[in-house]
């Protein structure tokens, strides 16, 4: 059975019956690829089976067999660790024949209880408010991938059925719709360091977080120091990869590829060059990165981002994954609020790091930079759903 279609919000065609589609994250946004950026070319391009034949025939020396996280073919990187080998002078040599996943960026199709198109906010091309309407692009991606989506949705639906059965058996109160609604009422507090600290503490220490009854603890010197330490440790986990080239990339405003990495007791800053080399720039004492609160216009940007995360299905999928990882010993409200509070904290810490290096404030611009540095990692978090 094919997918039937109906008119959705603002005239967008949405498929019905086979699976429900949500394009709400794309509402009001535009996308235009920035010349000289190349951020998407830093991810090794995985090939679909039907693409392997073309590259084996025309570019066999650029094919790489990969075993993890599953067996597949990908395109080679410069010096095995840099950008895609087809990227030269920040332009793609095979642009008209670039693989599926390259064409799809910065859009991510997430399959969970429904199909949702999510937007990678690490891409600067979605912040410029010019170019093609994102909702139109998202609808086109759904139509182009309908067959794969129907197949993947059937598998994801079974996984979710088993997950909710496990939750019911373990009595861990998994009610995502009610939880999202309750969290939406506190989003306006998610730029407040005192509130973030209280929420993190509650998610870790209370048996069950009741969002509406959360105790708001004032942030004295001791609690601020503990929050700063928690933010630094969270950053150490995300920026402390064994392989330097696995560390997250921050695409700066000048389009340089910046890599910050915890090495021993210091944060080392590198620039990834177009040739695939790492040029060391400076060493930063982690204690000099003081966690800052957002300025008024920055608070609005951060609150908007957290509100959007609360609507992202991959955030739910990540919470489900963690519940399964923890053997269903925690209530979902604890896991979910912990994930979102940690996200707010990481954005603020990364914005504070960027402020230390580039001299920005934590105003709207500075918080946007923190989101640009963070969101790609947020989308890479493990889930029990699937991205296609």
Give residue 244's pLDDT.
73
Q: Find the angle CA(242)-CA(245)-CA(246) to the nearest 5 degrees.
A: 60
Question: For residue 214, what are the contacts with CB-CB under 8 A and spacing of at least 6?
Answer: 186, 198, 199, 202
Q: At CB < 8 A and 24+ separation, what contacts does 299-302 make?
A: 299/191, 299/192, 299/367, 300/191, 300/364, 301/364, 301/367, 301/368, 301/371, 302/190, 302/191, 302/344, 302/347, 302/348, 302/367, 302/371
pLDDT interval class at 218 (50, 70, 90)? confident
Three-state SS string over 171-205 comes to CCCCCHHHHHHHHHCCHHHCCCHHHHHHHHHHHHH
Give residue 175's pLDDT.
94
pLDDT, one tens digit per residue, over 379-388 is 999 999 999 8
Question: For residue 59, what are the contacts with CB-CB under 8 A and spacing of at least 6?
Answer: 75, 94
Give residue 275's pLDDT.
96
Give residue 165's pLDDT.
96
Q: Does position 186 have pLDDT exceeding 60, yes or no?
A: yes
Q: Stretch 141-146: mean pLDDT, rounded?
A: 95
Give residue 7's pLDDT.
37
H helix runs in 264-359, sequence order? 296-311, 313-325, 332-358
pLDDT, one tens digit per residue, over 304-358 is 999 999 999 999 999 999 999 999 999 999 999 999 999 999 999 999 999 999 9
Give residue 298's pLDDT.
98
Give the total residue count for the chain. Answer: 388
Q: Stretch 246-251: mean pLDDT, rounded?
A: 91
Give residue 329's pLDDT.
95
Identify the CA nearest to 312 among candidates 154, 174, 108: 108
């Amino acid at each position: 059975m094919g997918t039937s279609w109906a008119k959705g919000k603002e005239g967008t065609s949405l498929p019905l019956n086979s699976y429900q589609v949500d394009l709400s994250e794309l509402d009001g946004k535009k996308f235009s690829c920035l010349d000289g950026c190349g951020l998407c070319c830093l991810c090794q391009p995985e090939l679909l089976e039907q693409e392997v034949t073309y590259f084996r025939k025309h570019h066999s020396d650029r094919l790489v067999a990969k075993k993890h996280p599953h067996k597949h073919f990908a395109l080679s990187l410069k010096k095995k660790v840099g950008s895609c080998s087809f990227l030269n002078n920040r332009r793609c040599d095979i642009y008209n024949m670039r693989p599926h996943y390259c064409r799809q960026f910065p859009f991510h199709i997430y399959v969970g209880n429904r199909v949702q198109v999510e937007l990678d906010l690490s891409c600067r091309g979605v912040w410029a408010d010019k170019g093609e309407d994102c909702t139109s692009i998202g609808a086109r991606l759904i139509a182009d991938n309908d067959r794969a989506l129907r197949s993947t949705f059937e598998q994801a639906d079974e996984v979710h059925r088993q997950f909710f059965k496990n939750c019911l058996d373990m009595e861990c109160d998994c009610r995502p719709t009610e939880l999202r609604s309750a969290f939406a009422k506190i989003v306006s507090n998610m730029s407040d360091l005192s509130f973030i600290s209280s929420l993190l503490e509650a998610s870790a220490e209370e048996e069950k977080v009741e969002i509406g009854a959360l105790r708001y603890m004032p942030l004295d010197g001791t609690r601020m120091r503990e929050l700063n330490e928690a933010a630094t440790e969270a950053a150490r986990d995300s920026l402390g990869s064994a392989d330097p080239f696995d560390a997250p990339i921050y695409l700066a405003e000048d389009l340089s590829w910046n890599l910050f990495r915890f090495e021993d007791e210091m944060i080392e800053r590198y620039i990834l060059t177009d040739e695939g080399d790492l040029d060391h720039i400076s060493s930063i004492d982690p204690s000099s990165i003081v966690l800052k609160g957002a300025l008024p216009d920055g608070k609005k940007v951060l609150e908007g981002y957290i509100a959007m995360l609360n609507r992202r299905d991959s955030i739910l999928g990540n919470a489900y994954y963690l519940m399964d990882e923890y053997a269903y010993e925690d209530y979902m409200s604890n896991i979910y609020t912990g994930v979102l509070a940690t996200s707010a904290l990481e954005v603020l810490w990364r914005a504070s790091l960027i402020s230390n290096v580039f001299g920005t404030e934590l105003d709207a611009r500075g918080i946007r930079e923190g989101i640009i540095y963070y969101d790609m990692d947020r989308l890479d978090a493990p889930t029990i759903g699937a991205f296609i």
